[in-house]
Amino acid sequence: METNFYSSVRAQEKAEEKDKKYLSSITSKEQIYVNEKGIYCLARWDDWGFFIDICECFIYNIKCHTKIMLPYYYHCDDWITEVLKCVVSPSTHEYFPYDDQYLCNVSLFFHQEPYCLITGPPYYKKWIKVKLYDDNRLIDAVTFCNGDKICTLFQEGKLGIIQMIPEITKTTCLSPVTTFRAPIDATAMHRSIHLVSWQDQLFLVQQKIGSPSIFEVWEVDFETNQFNRVFNLDGFIIFLSGQFSAATSSSLPQENNNVYFTQCNDHRTLYAFHIGEQSLSTTKQFRVNRPPNSVPPLFARSGRAKIQHNTSTSTRGDKLKKHPSGITSKPAPVDSNICIHLSQDLQREISRHLISQEAYMNFRLVCKLWRSIAPPLRWKVVVDDHAAASYDQDSMWLLSLNQKDGLCTFYNPFRNFNCYMSNTDLVGCEIRYAKYGWLLVSKGKSLFLLEPSPSGKQIIHLPQKTDDYFCDIMSFSTSPTSSSAWLIFGIASLNLFQVRISYLRQGDDKWTTITRDSEVPFLLSSSSPVYFGEEFCVIGQHGDVGVFGILKDGTPYWVIHQLSQLYSPPISGACRLFLVQRQDQNVLHSVVVTPQHDVHVYELDFGSNIIVKLVKEVKNWLLFTSEASSIAICGMNVNVDNAVFFPTFNTCNDYTYYSLEDVAFKVLKDNCTDKTQQKELLNRVWISCELTEN
């Protein structure tokens, strides 16, 4: 027995020695120019990268200049186009013998294959096939828990976990997560869906096509088996580009709570979405470098060292912890006047949360400063949409809804102040469209029309939606109080050539849903439909306009006016497009905003000869537009005309509008050209109304 034992030990030692010789034979120290033509990078983690060079593949440590050849796999030169996602993850179980450096695992996930390939230390001898779900398309995969696990996400929200054991073997498998699913809709189209890991946390980040076009960030809680919506990124920021995702620590105020991303095929423009205020802007805080032979882009702070890509190990994470500076300060002297010690922004924030009328009025009685910070309580009085209304500077308001408490904020850009109204019916709701003083609101599968008024709100409850996602964008034809034949319309893109349309006529007890084919590729923009004539018009991402209507015999129809080739300058997929109707002349305008913040206004004509005409001026008109509202007003009694109003502010939080005359964004309060960065507030609507003191 003892002889057999020692024989077994010696055999194991010989096998290990043979394996070490094999690792030594595939390992070399050399300087590789990773941007050299013919070498293609599929993924990176820290200093490690996975590369393909003609018919061979290898990992390379850019810092230590260590190259390790990986096993040959047939047609590996096709991986450049066939791989959906490549994950390079840290292997904390094995150190590289020469540099005291962590090694890494490589996992390849393919577009059309129900399996992934994984190889890793200690000896990188072979690729192991790991079977995935047969009946579900893979969306994304990411490493988390310091490289110990890979989480996979599939089309119907299914999750799976691959445990990265010390030595990758045939026993490695996908463990299905059956207790809960990700909050994504299998039938909806998304601009992007990503899994993002940060230290031991896992997040789902998704941006749907349509309105509101905001990013949703969800944290995965494996203890309670649920996804929790996140509105604050605590100490880190997220980067997204194509199939690539990364997270890094940040303590800079200007970076706080942001998701940075590129859009479509434009890898030069970097956008920033602020989760807290739900704003969208372009940014020069970081620069993006995407070499032509590299899948993962390289993000770096402008004028600073590059950021850390991908998930950090626990040892690296410990370096990010803040240490006390040792600086102490003398306590501030106590003063009975609290106004001296609080900034005006903080005092204004306090007034914002005083929802009851009594508390709000008591706040205003404290001092003159607080009276100026908290305007008088005002309530909404709808302007009759058929009346010959006169508009002054108190007629147009930008409405924001706080979903947590139902607090509505009315911002007046001409007076530069806010009014507040609390409405418990709007807790947890999302405003999908606003027109004629009515709000079309969704909450889960519930939909209703709401009209706040001084004498008491009116609510029209609508039949429940047929599924969770339902529509990308929605609209309605006219005010329910002024017409007995109102119509609600919603549409969703199913793919490039197919849309799903849902509509509800007054008196219907359920939604009618139809699917229609498009004769040309058509993807929705994030702008709400416009009721033009007796049809709903929807603008696509490249300027084409889809038209939905119902014939007198009740037959619905869907046609597309092909306008994209008529725009000059041409429209790219990264532009934001809006439709605005001018009621008096029955004119339809498209408003195009480029990533460089240039604005172009076009007049559209769908007559016998389709015309797209660039408009240099809209004299005496003001165009108000956002993702879920659009209003054109003539002869408004303000010192501005020939302009387009977006929910836009500059970095100093001054309201800005676009002057067609000056061909530039201008600050409204002092009417000077604004040279700073613009940000657009999403999930806001313009409403035409009067607010009176309570």
Given this model, what pLDDT does residue 370 score?
Answer: 67
657-688 burial, b if ≥16 CB within 10 A, otherwise e?
bbbbeeebbbbbeeeeebeebbbbbbbbbbbb
| Rounded Cα–Cα distance for residues 8 and 29 (Å) | 35
Mean local confidence (pLDDT), 445-454:
80
* Secondary structure (3-state) at 331: coil
Give me the mean pLDDT over the 335-357 stretch. Answer: 61
461 pLDDT exceeds 90?
yes
Mean pLDDT calculated for residue range 495-524? 93
- The better pLDDT of the pair 681, 37 is held by 681
Average pLDDT over residues 493-507: 92
Strands (E), 158-235: 159-163, 174-177, 190-198, 201-208, 215-221, 226-230
**Mind listing the pLDDT tens digit for each residue in 259-279?**
999 887 777 788 999 998 889
Between CA 372 and CA 352 the distance in angstroms is 13
pLDDT tens, 653-669? 899 999 999 999 999 88
Which pLDDT score is estimated for 334? 42
Q: Residue written as tokens 């803040």?
A: 322
Mean pLDDT of 106-111: 93
Q: What is the pLDDT of residues 617-676, one digit of tens each?
A: 998 899 999 999 999 998 888 888 899 999 999 888 899 999 999 999 999 888 788 877
Q: Mean pLDDT check: name the lowest of 134-143, 350-359, 439-448, 541-550.
A: 350-359
Distance of CA 81 to the CA centre of its chain: 26
| Per-residue pLDDT tens digits for 373-429 | 666 554 444 444 444 455 677 788 999 998 888 888 889 999 888 888 878 888 989
For position 323, what pLDDT does the model report? 34
Least-confidence region, from 94-108, 162-176, 294-308? 294-308
Give the range among 163-172, 204-213, 390-399, 653-662 with minimum mean pLDDT: 163-172
Measured in residues, the chain has a length of 694
Give the mean pLDDT of the chain: 82
pLDDT (mean) for 117-141: 90
Mean pLDDT of 429-443: 91
More reliable by pLDDT, 269 or 440 = 440
Amino acid 456: pLDDT: 57
Q: 275-287, pLDDT tens digit by residue?
A: 988 899 888 888 7
Q: Give the residue, 268 or 508, on which the prediction is more confident.
A: 508
Look at residue 671 in the predicted model and tell me its pLDDT: 77
Mean local confidence (pLDDT), 453-477? 80
- Dihedral angle, C-alpha 121, 124, 127, 129, nearest 10 °: -20
Query: What single letter denotes the amino acid at residue 610?
Result: I
Confidence of residue 143 (pLDDT cuts 50, 70, 90): very high
Predicted confidence band of residue 2 (pLDDT cuts 50, 70, 90): low
User: What's the CA dihedral at 179, 184, 185, 186 to 10 degrees?
Assistant: -70
| pLDDT tens, position by position, 368-377 | 676 666 665 5
pLDDT of 482 > 60? The answer is yes
- Write down the pLDDT at residue 92: 65
More confident residue, 501 or 234: 501
Spatial separation of the C-alpha atoms in residues 411 and 360, rounded to whole Å: 18
| Range in 90-104, 162-176, 535-549 with the lowest mean pLDDT | 90-104
pLDDT for residue 63: 86
Amino acid 338: pLDDT: 57
State the average pLDDT over residues 285-298. Answer: 73
Between the CA atoms of 611, 614, 617 and 620, what dihedral angle is there, to the nearest 10 degrees?
30
Q: Which has the higher per-residue pLDDT, 607 or 167?
A: 607
CB of 451 closer than 8 Å to CB of 485: no
* Position 1 pLDDT exceeds 80: no
Task: Identify residue 327 by its one-letter amino acid code.
Answer: I
**Between these two residues, 34 and 337, which has the higher pLDDT value?**
34
Q: pTM (2 decimals)?
A: 0.82
pLDDT above 50 (res 309): no
Closest CA to 640 of 684, 670, 606, 681: 670
Share of the chain above pLDDT 90, in %: 38
- Two tokens at 6? 């020692």
Q: What is the pLDDT of residues 38-61, one digit of tens each?
A: 788 889 888 899 999 877 899 999
Distance CA 679, CA 597 (A): 10
Contact indicator for 605, 613 with CB cutoff of 8 Å: yes
Range with the lowest mean pLDDT among 136-150, 268-282, 438-452, 678-692?
678-692
pLDDT of residue 407: 85
> Which is higher by pLDDT, 60 or 312?
60
pLDDT beyond 70 at 242: yes
> Of residues 494 and 12, which shows the higher confidence score?
494
Question: End-to-end distance of the chain based on CA atoms, in angstroms?
Answer: 96
Asked if omega into 454 is within 30° of 0 (cis), the reply is no
Does the pLDDT value for residue 554 go beyond 60? yes
Using DSSP's 3-state secondary structure scheme, residue 416 falls into coil
